[in-house]
Amino acid sequence: MFKKAALLLAPLALIVALSVTACGKVPGSGSTSGGGGGCASSQTIGLATTDFAVHCVTVKANMPVTFNDPTNGGGVHIICIGHNGACQAGATGPKDLLGSGFTIQPGQTHQVTFTTAGTYHLACTVHPNMNMTVIVQ
């Protein structure tokens, strides 16, 4: 009996996990009640040693967004608008996130301000698996 319940719950857990990671793929321009398509609102983007601490945030336009990494174990990041470790040529957004991006050392903070609403995908050229979505409202 217990085994049967576990079998039923396993796919359910998978669906929940998938819907959480789906954040950012379907931002939804209409937006649901300020939730930004499931992304938490924050003006801070934490950094861990080899990844963003969050993979989706909703931020306000014309307000500084702070990248910080108080728990960074030693990773240097070079962050830009892009995907899978490659900066996107011709991207638009905050100056520091264009071109080859900006470098942030362990323990440092760095502020950028998005002036235009939209969905931005951030990458790190040091860590190709390091991706996140910023929804600017």
Contact criterion met (CB below 8 Å) for 55 and 47? no
Q: Does 124 bind Cu ion (CB under 5 A)?
A: yes
Q: Does 130 bind Cu ion (CB under 5 A)?
A: yes
The residue (of 79 and 98) whose beta carbon lies closer to Cu ion is 79
Helix, coil or strand: residue 1 = coil
Q: Does 123 bind Cu ion (CB under 5 A)?
A: no
Contact criterion met (CB below 8 Å) for 47 and 109? no
Go through 90-122 and write b for each residue having 16 or more CB atoms within 10 A of its CB, e for each that does not. eeebbebbbeebbebeeeeebebbbeeeebbbb
The residue (of 77 and 110) whose beta carbon lies closer to Cu ion is 77
Identity of the residue numbered 65: V
Q: Does 126 bind Cu ion (CB under 5 A)?
A: yes
In the bound state, the residue with its beta carbon closest to Cu ion is 124
Q: Number of residues interacting with Cu ion: please give it, by CB under 5 A.
A: 5
Q: Does 110 bind Cu ion (CB under 5 A)?
A: no
> Rule CB under 5 A: which of 66-85 touch Cu ion?
77
| Contacts to Cu ion by CB under 5 A | 77, 124, 126-127, 130
